[in-house]
Amino acid sequence: MTFTLSDLEAIVARRAVSGDKSSYTAKLAGKGIAKTAKKLGEEAVETVIAAISEDDAALVGESADLLYHLMVVLHLRQVPLADVLAELQRRTAETGLEEKARRPQDV
């Protein structure tokens, strides 16, 4: 069976409130949204570095770290993954450049 981000969302939700001393998710969630969002930023930078100068295995690993930390941030903000997917689906109605052209012009 294919593993999905929805599966990861459920794992994160369960582990964040587990109180399990061996859980990284519980430890991270306990630090709050500011620390967790900062960690997400660090993982984003590591993913950028992997994309530019490391091999595919490194990029896969950093991408997994990035998506996992994003799921913890969404959990802490109580934003369902479904909301993000719905936004992505809404965006399929037009190209990225069409959407950009509709934005109000800077004055």
**Which residues here bind ligand PRT, judged by CB under 6 A?**
11, 15, 23-26, 39, 64-65, 68
Nearer to ligand PRT, 45 or 79 (CB): 45
For the bound state, the minimum distance from the C-beta of residue 107 to ligand PRT, rounded and expressed in Å, comes to: 42
Nearer to ligand PRT, 26 or 37 (CB): 26
User: Coil, helix or strand for 17?
Assistant: coil
Nearer to ligand PRT, 10 or 86 (CB): 10
The residue number whose beta carbon is nearest to ligand PRT equals 25
For the bound state, the minimum distance from the C-beta of residue 52 to ligand PRT, rounded and expressed in Å, comes to: 19
CB atoms < 10 A from the CB of 32, how many? 10
Amino acid at site 86: A
CB atoms < 10 A from the CB of 6, how many? 13
Nearer to ligand PRT, 42 or 94 (CB): 42
Of 63, 64, 75, 57, residue with least CA distance to 15: 75
List, in order, residues 6 or more apart from 97 with CB less than 8 Å away. Answer: none
